[in-house]
Amino acid sequence: MNRYAGRRVLITGAGSGIGQATVHRILAEGGDVVGVDVNEAGLKATFDTAVGDGTAERLSTARLDISDEASVAAGVPAAVDTLGGLDVLVNAAGILRSEHTHKTTLDLFNKIIAVNLTGTFLMIREAIPALLEGNEPVVVNFSSTSASFAHPYMSAYAASKGGIQSMTHAIASEYSKQGLRAVSVAPGSIASDMTTGKGPGLPEDTDWSLFAKLVPAIGGGMAGPETVAGVVAMLGSEDGRFITGTEVRVDGGTHF
């Protein structure tokens, strides 16, 4: 499959998890990619894998903090310049933190919103001018099953992802006549550093019975990030040409 030959793609969160997997999937399909992240060690690992795959000549990486307006204002034009334009923006970067809602500090709440929601907005705002000049332009945002279903101890995270989902609908409508598509992916039960490492930080007194609805109905457990990367690749390609202003849930039937 060579759906991305000649397509220019900017991917955030490229240093780990789903963002990293999406970089490799789109490179494998012939795309030119700039991958950005705050995690420089992760970006190096992404690039090293591309070297091993023989796709590194179409990959550039750069440090970019999506929660910092100045970093985004400088980083997006630099990426567009490197690519010679922009056709697809994938906003995969995000953080997951957990706490009892009544113990969630304002600093923690604001941090989650700043990275997940504000960061996604900043990337879109800076990329839109280039996207509108691109070829069949697409914005792929990352919501979560937490935006629509109960994930305990994650009220701030759920709020950020619900905001992304709503914002995606608004952008899809606003720029539809200019040919820009916008769609959200809503992963759930996906194994990554965010969900299986230190990211969730669940409270010590977590009531695990509240997580009964987070067990996938198919597949025998959590899926890998490459599962979501394949859906992202479809949405940003010609195969997704009739999909906009909606979200695609990828959770193995966790939430029927």
Q: How many CA atoms lie within 13 A of 240 on its CB side?
A: 28
CA–CA separation, 216 vs 221, rounded Å? Answer: 6
State the sign of the Cα–Cα–Cα–Cα dihedral 107, 109, 114, 115: positive
Alpha helices by DSSP H, listed for 54-105, are: 69-83
DSSP H or E run through 214: none
Report CA 130 to chain centroid distance, whole Å.
Answer: 19
User: From the candidates 4, 153, 157, 175, which is the catalytic residue?
Assistant: 157
**32 pairs with which residues across the strands?**
8
Query: Maximum CA pair distance of the chain?
Result: 52
**33 pairs with which residues across the strands?**
9, 59
Q: Which two tokens stand for residue 24?
A: 């490799």
175 is catalytic: no
Q: Which two tokens stand for residue 184?
A: 């959200």
Residues marked as catalytic: 157
